[in-house]
Structure 1
Amino acid sequence: METTTYKIYSTISQLPSSWDTVASENAFLQTSYLKVLDKSAPTNMQCFYIGIFENTELIGVALAQYLDVNKLESFGERDQCLKTYVRNFVFKNFASHVLFLGNNMITGQNGYVFNKNMDFKSISELLVACADEIIKYFKSKNTKIHIVSFKDFYQHCADELKKFDFASMYEFNTQPNMIFDLNPNWKTNEDYIAAFSKKYRDQYKRAHKKIEGITNRELTWEEIVSNEERIYELYHHVAKNAPFNTFFLAENHFSSFKKQCGDRFKLVGYFLEEKLVGFHTLLLNGTVLETYFLGYDEQVQKEKMLYLNMLYNMTKFGIDNQFKKIIFGRTALEIKSSIGAAPLLMTGFIYHTNKWVDKLMPKLFPRLEPTVVWQQRHPFKEH
């Protein structure tokens, strides 16, 4: 590692010119997306961009995010009980300043990318060194980082990292990432529907019938801007009813995203009698279709099975445009499995900067993370 160095940047304008060449494999590390974070990150988030060099050549890029959980209006309003009260108290006092190495806003291994083979010993040393430097930076500003989390690794990467600097950290698995590997033989949406067993074909037909009267179409940047307040209201309704939150998007997030990423970012609006009642978003990431945030009117969602129809529509888009897989992310695991997505376990590592609290991490962490009980569905005939 003698010749490997890193540099931490706090603004996009400082990034080396070869950044996007190195990040070409991952849209969530390219400057067009990082500019979205720069211009419209959640109000309680600050981003850091890490360049990794071999001598003077940029060979890797990574993302870190600092979150001040104190600035949050709600940690998730669904579970109003003593457990929530205790969790919120603990968060405010022992875990309100959190540093993520990776992207806390999305699911998947999107924290770093290299354009050459790197051994896991070097990767683990680099990630830990970057975290230490950012902790020092905040200390100089009189802010104490409580928790450091290295987020979302595939199991084989996690196993390798554990052999080195990550060995002493608490390893955790939260909800799995729901991934739909699309069958390459499906050329049309009809092929997909034909693959369902009777029960799930009936579910598709029922959902399709329910949504009659609602139209959907992709919105232009201008339309996103003129509907921004309504889009945010629909997003915010869904976000605040999630079981657990560490951030809320900024109100201009979706228009910023469209402006920076153009055709690679799609926001599809759902209209009932000309009124916007829901939306979903997608990011085209090479051969992978990434689902992003969505929102809906609760009443319409119940009556029209809007959420399920959104999942079907995103799948149709993936098949029509011959993507290899769709990343559906965490949450709503059962309904996502009913359309064909399957769970992939993601691993994270976490430590508390207070070594006494850190010793309690194996006891504390499972109490802070809401447990999800769900049943995987198998919608296709071969099951």
Structure 2
Amino acid sequence: METTTFTIYSSIAQLPVTWDVVAAENAFLQTPYLKVLEASAPTNMQCFYIGVFEASELMGVALAQYLDLNKLESFGERDQCLKTYIRNFVFKNFASHVLFLGNNMITGQNGYAFTKNIDHKSISKLLMACSDEIIKYFKNQQITIHIVSFKDFYQPCAEELKQYGFAGMYEFNTQPNMVFELPDSWKTNDDYIAALSKKYRDQYKRSHKKFEGIITKELSVEEIVSKEDRIYELYYHVAKNAPFNTFFLARNHFSTFKEQCGDRFVLCGYFLNEKLVGFHTLLLNGTVLETYFLGYDEQVQKEKMLYLNMLYNMTKFGIEHQFRKIIFGRTALEIKSSVGAAPIQMTGFIYHTNKWIDQLMSKVFPKLEPSLAWQQRHPFK
């Protein structure tokens, strides 16, 4: 790694022409998606794009995101309790300027990609150096970064990284990533239904009966633009009722996504009496189907089991298009496991730039996380 250097860019227009060649294995690091972030990132987010060079050849790419939590009206309104108020006070006053090495908007190890095998010691050293450089950039603007987080590593990678540059950092495990590994033998949705045990086959039938009257339709970019306000209203209802949020999407996010990524981005609308009452989104990422943000009308969701039917529809799409696995992400762990997803533990590393506060991280951080109790379901025979 002696000949390795990095350059941090603040604009897509500055990126090397071979960027997408290096990022070929991950759609979340390719320029169409990065252009979505540039054009419609959350209002409290600024993105940085990192190019890693060996001599003059680009051999690695990475993403960093700065969040200003002072610009958030709410961190999430579902849990109104003393613990939530304390958490919000702490974030506003001691952790409002946050730097993520990785992508805070999605779940999974999507922070970097290399064309060559790089040892974990070098990766940790590189990520630390990049974070130091961005901290300096903000210091020059009289902004102090409070928290630095390196997010979402699968366990084998995390175990390696903490042997090196991440050794002194607080290691945290939040909600797991719900991943559905699809068997090669499944060719149609009927194969999936046949694999379910009687209890979960009955759940499938019951939810589909409740679903009667709902029309689903994949929306074109023109239709997304024409329904932008309603789509955002449905998204925002779900987002603000989450237990914790560090951002809210821009109003034009979904139409921008469709414009930039075309057929690789799917927005499926759910209509009742010709009114849009819900939607879900997907990103086709090679052999992996990534679920993205969704939204729904709360009343219709209860009456029609809308959310569960969305999960079934995403599963059907994944099977029929022969994806290897579906990334369902965090939240709603139990209902996702009832469809077939299993929890994969994700690890992050975090530190506070104030060394005195950082020493308290192991005591403070667990108290700030939303509490979680859930039972994993096993729906197959």
Into which bin does the TM-score normalised by the smaller protein fall?
over 0.9
**How far has the Cα of 1:371 moved from its partner?**
1.9
Question: Partner residue of 1:288?
Answer: 288
RMSD of aligned Cα (Å): 0.4
- For residues 101-138 of structure 1, what are the alpha-carbon distances to aligned partners after superposition, in whole Å with 9 as ceiling and x for unaligned? 00000000000000110011110000000000000000
Aligned ranges for residues 37-56 of structure 1 at < 5 Å?
A: 37-56=37-56
CA distance in 2, matches of 1:171, 1:233: 36
Counterpart AA for 2:88: N
- For residues 14-68 of structure 1, what are the alpha-carbon distances to aligned partners after superposition, in whole Å with 9 as ceiling and x for unaligned? 0000000000000000000000000000000000000000000000000000000
Question: Partner residue of 1:229?
Answer: 229
Question: Partner residue of 2:166?
Answer: 166
Aligned ranges for residues 312-323 of structure 1 at < 5 Å?
A: 312-323=312-323
CA distance in 2, matches of 1:263, 1:59: 28
Question: Partner residue of 2:129?
Answer: 129
Confirm or deny that 1:342 pairs with 2:354. Answer: no
Aligned ranges for residues 164-203 of structure 1 at < 5 Å?
A: 164-203=164-203
Residue 243 of structure 1: SS of its match in structure 2?
A: coil
Residue 80 of structure 1: SS of its match in structure 2?
A: coil
Question: Partner residue of 2:275?
Answer: 275
- TM-score, normalised with respect to structure 2: 1.00
CA distance in 2, matches of 1:172, 1:369: 10
CA distance in 2, matches of 1:376, 1:80: 26
4+ residue runs over 3 A deviation: none
**How far has the Cα of 1:71 moved from its partner?**
0.4
CA distance in 2, matches of 1:188, 1:154: 30
Aligned ranges for residues 184-263 of structure 1 at < 5 Å?
A: 184-263=184-263
Question: Partner residue of 1:93?
Answer: 93
Residue 363 of structure 2: SS of its match in structure 1?
A: helix
**How far has the Cα of 1:203 moved from its partner?**
0.2
- Tell me the matched-pair count: 381
Question: Partner residue of 2:150?
Answer: 150
Confirm or deny that 1:329 pairs with 2:320. Answer: no
CA distance in 2, matches of 1:139, 1:98: 13
CA distance in 2, matches of 1:73, 1:198: 46
- For residues 312-340 of structure 1, what are the alpha-carbon distances to aligned partners after superposition, in whole Å with 9 as ceiling and x for unaligned? 00000000000000000000000000000
Question: Partner residue of 2:12?
Answer: 12
5+ residue gaps, structure 2:
none
**How far has the Cα of 1:242 moved from its partner?**
0.2
- For residues 202-236 of structure 1, what are the alpha-carbon distances to aligned partners after superposition, in whole Å with 9 as ceiling and x for unaligned? 00000000000000010000000000000000000
**How far has the Cα of 1:73 moved from its partner?**
1.0
CA distance in 2, matches of 1:363, 1:355: 14
**How far has the Cα of 1:355 moved from its partner?**
0.2
CA distance in 1, matches of 2:148, 2:353: 7
- TM-score, normalised with respect to structure 1: 0.99
**How far has the Cα of 1:89 moved from its partner?**
0.6
Counterpart AA for 2:276: L
